[in-house]
Amino acid sequence: EDQVTQSPEALRLQEGESSSLNCSYTVSGLRGLFWYRQDPGKGPEFLFTLYSAGEEKEKERLKATLTKKESFLHITAPKPEDSATYLCAVRTVYNQGGKLIFGQGTELSVKP
């Protein structure tokens, strides 16, 4: 069964304290791994797409990387406005025409 697991469930950082969020996946034929940011009560906001192992994408303080089994979202020198829940999702070759399989998310809190 296709599965996506994110860790940790919650992460508290001080402003400027860099860290990484993990997304491990067990799927049959990866067709893309996606990172989203979700603020409370709002829709997920697209951040990155990664398609193959070794690929990296960057945006401001965020950098996403991908291996054959997991993806990391590195946050460098975070600010309070980076506080949100970060969701990882995958699409596989065999799923229903493009369903996103989501992890449970990591709730990030950055204190000033």
Partner 1 sequence: EAQVTQNPRYLITVTGKKLTVTCSQNMNHEYMSWYRQDPGLGLRQIYYSMNVEVTDKGDVPEGYKVSRKEKRNFPLILESLSPNQTSLYFCASSLRRQRFNMNTEAFFGQGTRLTVV
Taking the complex as a whole, the smallest distance from the CB of residue 82 to partner 1 amounts, in Å, to 19
Taking the complex as a whole, the smallest distance from the CB of residue 105 to partner 1 amounts, in Å, to 7
Instruction: Output the CA–CA distances (angstroms, integers) from residue 98 to 23, 25, 63, 65, 71, in the order listed.
Output: 19, 16, 25, 22, 20
Name which of 16 and 29 has its Cβ closer to partner 1. Answer: 29
Q: Which residues bind partner 1 (CB under 8 A)?
A: 31-32, 34, 36, 41-46, 49, 87, 89, 91, 96-100, 102-105
Name which of 14 and 96 has its Cβ closer to partner 1. Answer: 96
Name which of 48 and 72 has its Cβ closer to partner 1. Answer: 48
CA 56, CA 72: separation in Å to the nearest integer?
10
Beta bridge partners of 23: 6, 71
Name which of 43 and 54 has its Cβ closer to partner 1. Answer: 43
Q: Look at the alpha carbons of 77, 63, 45, 4 in this order and tell me if their dihedral is positive or negative.
A: negative
Which is nearest to 61 in space by CA: 88, 34, 83?
83
CA 102, CA 4: separation in Å to the nearest integer?
6
Taking the complex as a whole, the smallest distance from the CB of residue 93 to partner 1 amounts, in Å, to 9
Taking the complex as a whole, the smallest distance from the CB of residue 4 to partner 1 amounts, in Å, to 9
